[in-house]
Amino acid sequence: MDPAPNPASPEVSETFVRELTDHQTAMLAFIRALMPGSSAARDLLQEVNIILWQKREQFESGSSFKAWSFQVIRYHLMNHRRRLASRGWLIFDDELVEKISPALEADPGELEGRHQALNHCLQKLRPKDRELLQHRYSSGAPLNDYAKAINRSAGTLKATLFNLRAALRKCIERRFHEQGLPLQ
């Protein structure tokens, strides 16, 4: 029986680095899905990369690197969310994250297809509607502030956002149907 490979050996480190590199896109997408609206996704990915490197000896060669790394991401983000919650940030609770995370472990190619469909559909919107969506999902500023700035009520903007999300959903579904892609 061959002895177990030394985790510090150059060939094991090279294999680990290859796996880590190959999964960066999927890991970033997973972090973004678990932390929607967070501008810290790339920073969190770098933190996870360091943790994965420190735990590389725990990775069993031949097993699923994606499953292992996503589990590490889940635990790291749970701790990160607890730190944010202690500072008064409103966040998803751990139970919800555990329920939705398996659905987020999609193939990066599928995520890219969804991203392209979303971009296509966003381009079909009026500029002021894209601006509203950008403000709501990227700025982090309260909707009430934006409503005051454009002289509209927050209730009207909430209704507009509801309608925009429904229109985007239909557009994306239509785009997937036209391309013969499954929409899960």
Which residue, among 95, 88, 99, 100, has the nearest Cα to 33 in the 3D structure? 100
Helix (H, G, I), strand (E, B) or coil at 180: coil
CATH of 108-178, one of 3.40.1000.10, 3.90.230.10, 1.10.10.10, 1.10.3370.10: 1.10.10.10
The structure's pTM equals: 0.47
Please give the residue that has the higher pLDDT: either 128 or 1: 128
At the top level of CATH, which class does the domain 10-104 belong to?
mainly alpha
Each residue's pLDDT tens digit, 16-32: 999 999 999 888 888 88
* AA letter at 131: E
The residues spanned by each domain of the chain are 10-104, 108-178
Tell me the one-letter amino acid at 94.
D
Q: Is the pLDDT of residue 152 over 90?
A: yes
Residue 153 and residue 130: Cα distance in Å, rounded? 18
Mean pLDDT over 55-70 rounds to 89
Give residue-wise pLDDT tens across range 84-134: 666 654 444 555 555 555 555 555 556 667 777 888 888 899 999 999 888
Does the pLDDT at position 81 exceed 80?
no
Amino acid letter for position 179: Q
Distance from C-alpha of 103 to C-alpha of 70, rounded to nearest angstrom: 12
3-state SS, residue 120: helix
The reported pLDDT for the residue numbered 48 is 93
Contact assessment for residue 149 and residue 155, using Cβ atoms and an 8 Å cutoff = no
